[in-house]
C-alpha cells in the first residue's frame, strides 16, 4: 500500500490542471439566463467537449483507430476525471455516448459501427441519448414493448420511450426494442441505433420536479431503421444492454464530486446561523456533518481500492456493486443536511433575493433524488447486490 502517486502521474496531473485552468469556459451570464436547451448553450457545450478532446483528455482509453488516445492507463483516466471535477468544468454533453454507447460498441459493435460512430462521439459532432425505459417498463426493463419488426433490410419501430435525457438535442439514440414478442422476455430484445431525424420520431419534453426539462418522452411511429444499425446479434440485446448498464452505474459513482459537495456543506455550516446560533456549533448538526464525513471518506478510499484492483487487472467483486446505491444516497443525504442547515432559506429559488449559494442546494436535493431512482433504483441495486453478489435466490 502506497498512496503516493508516481512522479509521472504527478506530472500528468499538473499538466491537466494547468490546461484546465486556462481552458475551462468562464461562466457566461448571457448564456446562463437562456433556457437549458437553447441552441447557443448546446453549441457552447459541444465546443467545450471538442476542445477537451483535441487536448487529448476525452475517453483516453479508446483505441487510436477510432479517434481515441489508445492510453489504457486507468490512473491517467482517473486523474483527468478528478481534475475536471476539481476545476468545476462543465459536464460533457456527449456523456451518454462516451460512457454508455462507446464502451458497448467497443465490446460488441461491428467494425463498421465502430468506425462510423465512435470518432463523432468523442468530438461531440453526434450526441447520443439512451432509449431504455418505457412507461410500462421501469425497474422491470426487460418487459419493454417498443416493437421493431424486421421487414426486408430494415426494422420498423413502433412504441414509446420515457425519461430520455437529452433527446431534444440528440442526433442519435441507442435503443432497446422487442424483436421477438414470442420469446421469453430477456431473449426477444435487440439493441439498435436510431437516427433521431428519421420520420416518425417525435420528442416531447418532460418537466422534472426541479423545473428543468432535461427528460423527454420519445414516440416512434413506423420509424424505419436500417438492419445494419443492429448492435450485436438479433434478440441478444439484453446482454448488450447489461454491458452498458454496468458502465452507467460506474458513471454515477464519482467520489470527487461528493468530496467537493462535502467541503461546500461544511463551508455552508460555518457561515450560516440558525435559531440564534452559528449552525456549526449545534451539536446535532456537528454529529450529522461528521457522520457524513465518515461516509464520504469511506467512499473515497473504497474507490481508490477499486482503482487499484482495476490497475492490477483484478475483478471488482461485490465492492463495486454498492457504488451506485451508496454514492447516490450519500449525495442526497449531503444535500438534505444542507437544507436543514439553511432552514427558512432552504426553499428559496435561484433568482430569489437572499438566496444562498445560488439555490444550488435545493436544486441538487431534488436532482440527487432523481439519481437514486434513475439508472436502476436503490431497491433494484439491493436486488442486484443480494442476488448477484450474495447468491440469494430470486423472489419468484
Partner 1 sequence: MDFGLSEEQDLLQQSAREFLTQECPPQFVRALLDDEHGFSPELHRKMAELGWPGLLVPEKFGGLGLGLLDMALLLEEMGRAVVPGPFLFSSALATFALMRGGSSAQKKTWLPRLASGDAIGTLAFLEASDRLDAAGITLKARKKRDGYTLSGTKMFVPFAAVADILVVAVRTSGKSEKGVSLVLVERDAPGLTIRPLDMFDRTRRVYEVRFKQVPVSGFLGKAGKGWKLLAQLQDLACVALSADSLGGAQQALDMAVEYTKVREQFNRPIASFQALKHMAAEMVSEVEPARSLVWYAAYAFDTRAKDASRAASIAKARLSAVYTRTTNKAVQMHGGIGFTWEHDMHFWFKRAKWNEFAFGAAAYHRERVARFDGY
Residues that bind partner 1 (CB under 8 A): 1-6, 9, 75, 266, 269-270, 280, 283, 286-287, 289-291, 293-295, 297-299, 301-302, 304-305, 307-309, 312, 318-319, 321-322, 325-326, 379, 381-383, 385-387, 389-396
Nearer to partner 1, 10 or 228 (CB): 10
Q: Which three cell numbers stand for residue 314?
A: 483484478
Smallest gap, in angstroms, from Cβ of residue 396 to partner 1? 8
Sequence-ordered strand ranges (E) for 58-109: none
Q: Tell me the C-alpha to C-alpha distance, in Å, between residue 218 and each of 72, 191, 262, 324.
A: 36, 16, 36, 26
Q: What would the grid cell of residue 333 be?
A: 443525504
Smallest distance from partner 1 to CB 12, Å: 12
Instruction: Kindly name the residue from 8, 248, 281, 387 that is annotated as catalytic.
Output: 248
Q: Cell numbers at residue 376, please?
A: 436502476
Kind of pairing between the strands at 172-178 and 128-131: parallel
C-alpha distances in angstroms, 119 versus 10, 22, 65, 122, 248? 29, 25, 9, 5, 20
**Cα separation values, 346 from 273, 359, 367, 371, Å:** 13, 8, 15, 20
Is there a catalytic annotation at residue 10? no
Instruction: Calculate ∠ Cα 172-174-179, nearest 5°.
Output: 125
Q: Indicate the residue among 261 and 325 with the shorter CB distance to partner 1.
A: 325
Nearer to partner 1 by Cβ, of 114 and 324: the residue is 324
Using CA atoms, how far residue 59 sits from 42, 72, 83, 92, 310, in Å, is 20, 10, 14, 11, 16
Q: Which residue has the cell 488516445?
A: 69
Q: Which is nearer to partner 1, 9 or 71 (CB)?
A: 9
Cβ at position 140, least distance to partner 1 in Å:
14
CB of 297 to partner 1, least distance (A): 5
Residue (115 or 287) nearer to partner 1, CB: 287
What is the smallest separation between the CB atom of 301 and partner 1, expressed in angstroms? 4
Residues acting as catalytic residues: 248
Amino acid at each position: 500500500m502506497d498512496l503516493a502517486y508516481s512522479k509521472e502521474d504527478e506530472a500528468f496531473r499538473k499538466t491537466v490542471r494547468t490546461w484546465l485552468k486556462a481552458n475551462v469556459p468562464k461562466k457566461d451570464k448571457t448564456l446562463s439566463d437562456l433556457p437549458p436547451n437553447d441552441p447557443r448553450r448546446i453549441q457552447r457545450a459541444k465546443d467545450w467537449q471538442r476542445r477537451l478532446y483535441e487536448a487529448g483528455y476525452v475517453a483516453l482509453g479508446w483505441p487510436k483507430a477510432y479517434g481515441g488516445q489508445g492510453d489504457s492507463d486507468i490512473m491517467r483516466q482517473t486523474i483527468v476525471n478528478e481534475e475536471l471535477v476539481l476545476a468545476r468544468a462543465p459536464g460533457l454533453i456527449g456523456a451518454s455516448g462516451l460512457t454508455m454507447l462507446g464502451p458497448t460498441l467497443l465490446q460488441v459493435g461491428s467494425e463498421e459501427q465502430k468506425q462510423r460512430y465512435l470518432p463523432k462521439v468523442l468530438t461531440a459532432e453526434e450526441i447520443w441519448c439512451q432509449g431504455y425505459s418505457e412507461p410500462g417498463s421501469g425497474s422491470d426493463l426487460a418487459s419493454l414493448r417498443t416493437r421493431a419488426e424486421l421487414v426486408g433490410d430494415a426494422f420498423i419501430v413502433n412504441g414509446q420511450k420515457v425519461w430520455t435525457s437529452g433527446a431534444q438535442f440528440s442526433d442519435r439514440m441507442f435503443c432497446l426494442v422487442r424483436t421477438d414478442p414470442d420469446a421469453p422476455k430477456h431473449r426477444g430484445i435487440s439493441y439498435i441505433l436510431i437516427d433521431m431525424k428519421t420520420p416518425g420520431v417525435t420528442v416531447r419534453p418532460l418537466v422534472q420536479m426541479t423545473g428543468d426539462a432535461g427528460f423527454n418522452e420519445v414516440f416512434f411511429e413506423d420509424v424505419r431503421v436500417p438492419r445494419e444499425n443492429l448492435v450485436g446479434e438479433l434478440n441478444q440485446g439484453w446482454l448488450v444492454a447489461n454491458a452498458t448498464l454496468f458502465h452507467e452505474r460506474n458513471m454515477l459513482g464519482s467520489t470527487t464530486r461528493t468530496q467537493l459537495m462535502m467541503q461546500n456543506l461544511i463551508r455552508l455550516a460555518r457561515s450560516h446561523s440558525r435559531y440564534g446560533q452559528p449552525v456549526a456549533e449545534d451539536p446535532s448538526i456537528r454529529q450529522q456533518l461528521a457522520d457524513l464525513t465518515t461516509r464520504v471518506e469511506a467512499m473515497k478510499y473504497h474507490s481508490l481500492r477499486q482503482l487499484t484492483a482495476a490497475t492490477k487487472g483484478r475483478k471488482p467483486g461485490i465492492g463495486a456493486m454498492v457504488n451506485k446505491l451508496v454514492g447516490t444516497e450519500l449525495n442526497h443525504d449531503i444535500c438534505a443536511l444542507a437544507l436543514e442547515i439553511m432552514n427558512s432559506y432552504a426553499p428559496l429559488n435561484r433568482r430569489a433575493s437572499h438566496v444562498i449559494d445560488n439555490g444550488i442546494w435545493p436544486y441538487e436535493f431534488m436532482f440527487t433524488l432523481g439519481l437514486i431512482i434513475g439508472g436502476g433504483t436503490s431497491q433494484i441495486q439491493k436486488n442486484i447486490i443480494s442476488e448477484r453478489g450474495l447468491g440469494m435466490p430470486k423472489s419468484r
